[in-house]
Amino acid sequence: MTISRRAFLRTTAGGLATAFVTGSGSPQDTKPEAAPPPRLSVEAAPTNLLPQDTLFLTWQRDPTTTITAQWIGPEKADATVRVIPPTGDEWKTAKVEFRPWPKTDLKVHRAEVTGLAPGTEYLLQIGKGPELFRFRTMPAKATDTFQWVSGGDCGTNAHAIANNILAAKQEPHFALISGDLGYDNGTSAKTALAFVQNYARHMVDPKGRLIPLVTCLGNHEVRGGYNGKRGDATFYLPLFDGLYKDTTYAALDFGDYLSLVLLDTGHVAKIAGEQTDWLEGVLKEREDRPHLFVTNHVPAYPSYRVPEGGPVSGKPGTGEANRQHWCPLFERHGVDVVLEHHDHTFKRTHPLKGGLRDKYGVPYLGDGSWGQLRAPIAAEKRPYLAAVAKAYHMTVHRLEGEARYHVALEESGRVADVYGTHGKRPAKRG
């Protein structure tokens, strides 16, 4: 269902003015001072990186009861992570594991803490360091209203930082960035580190809570972009192989109310074959989840690139394999929303079935302009497009029971689009 801004103001808790923190309408008002230059050359790793310079949280399994802390820096052999609720109950301690940060002498530090209580705020301490970091676990049930943010194609420029700051002001429970994080291309440790430093510095909400990061793979994480091997995701997998242990696609289940299915659009794993077979099973198992989201990098329904191949280029169109192998599964198994990026615009499609507008179809939101920008094709030239704009943006997803509200915020804080869905989209059984 599509809702107007006025309807959104009436139906969401507190209205837009209190649910979302916007800017003044001027992009300059939301831009911070320039980020400090990354403290890393490709061959010479610094020795003065502190854990808080690159610390971010993520998940390897159920976000209602676990958290994984990660940072990049010189190895500290005795490092541990301790977590305690603000009430002062018993600490939980996790040992830190180390792995090389390629092309440098630095290490990726990782510690997973399990057995946490859902919907609870905690404090986190690294080793015996003086600083305590705040975070919260996801709620146990979807009955509590909560929100999270999504986008793609970030980079490390001032626009990406401005959107980081705007996203953090929304107090999201987590951020989902679906490919092309820092644009390191699998070759630049300096760029990969700069993305992590920017995230660690700016993705902290107004209450001082760290915002966990979930990602999927994009072409600019992989040497060559497509048809690579795991080792070609040089800097990406050392950070995110806790979730992507054996494949570069995965499902992350939040209790029994939200599932994120994260796909690889041909960067390491082929779209057809094993990944599609896996996808069909995963969606079938989760088709009754109250909220079922799929995300991938290259869009099935592009807003800039050409969707059809041709005899002149001899290449398939953008998203052609997605439309052939994945979109029928999304339609069959009740996927509520697909998030996709890569084209560097703002876009929302109509609900689609077989590429055509259908009230029981699947909407596709994107299109990857957190920090990169192009002018989209006019919506009237592509009937599947409902809304497009040339705008740096990210999207706030607000879940209220069975209702889902998707609010695209431009870098300035201006509301670019409001879209709502409610209940389960019918799955085609059998």
The least confident of 126-130, 146-150, 214-218 is 126-130
* Fold classification of 51-136 (topology level): Immunoglobulin-like (2.60.40)
Please provide residue 240's backbone torsions phi and psi, each rounded to the nearest 5 degrees.
Answer: -120, 10
Q: What is the mean pLDDT of residues 45-67?
A: 90
- 426: tokens are 């019918």
Instruction: Give residue 19's pLDDT band: very low, low, confident or very high (50, 70, 90).
Output: low
Is 81's pLDDT higher than 70?
yes
Higher-confidence residue of 265 and 402: namely 265
Domain spans, the chain: 5-30+140-422, 51-136
CB atoms within 10 A of CB 398: 21
Residue carrying structure tokens 């009237």? 380
Q: Which of 299, 304, 374, 301 is nearest to 340 (CA)?
A: 299
pLDDT digits over 22-48, tens only? 553 333 333 333 444 343 344 455 667
> In whole angstroms, what separates CA 126 from the centre of its chain?
25
Out of 3.60.21.10, 3.40.50.300, 3.40.50.970, 2.40.50.150, select the CATH number for domain 5-30+140-422: 3.60.21.10
Whole-model pTM: value is 0.91
pLDDT digits over 295-316, tens only? 999 999 999 999 998 766 668 8
Phi-psi region of 183 (alpha: psi -120 to 50; beta: other; left: phi over 0): left
Cα three-residue angle 74-250-387, rounded to 5 degrees: 105
Is 121's pLDDT higher than 70?
yes
Q: What is the structure's pLDDT at 4?
A: 41
Distance, CA of 399 to CA of 98 (rounded, Å): 36
User: Could you give the percent of the chain with pLDDT greater than 90?
Assistant: 78
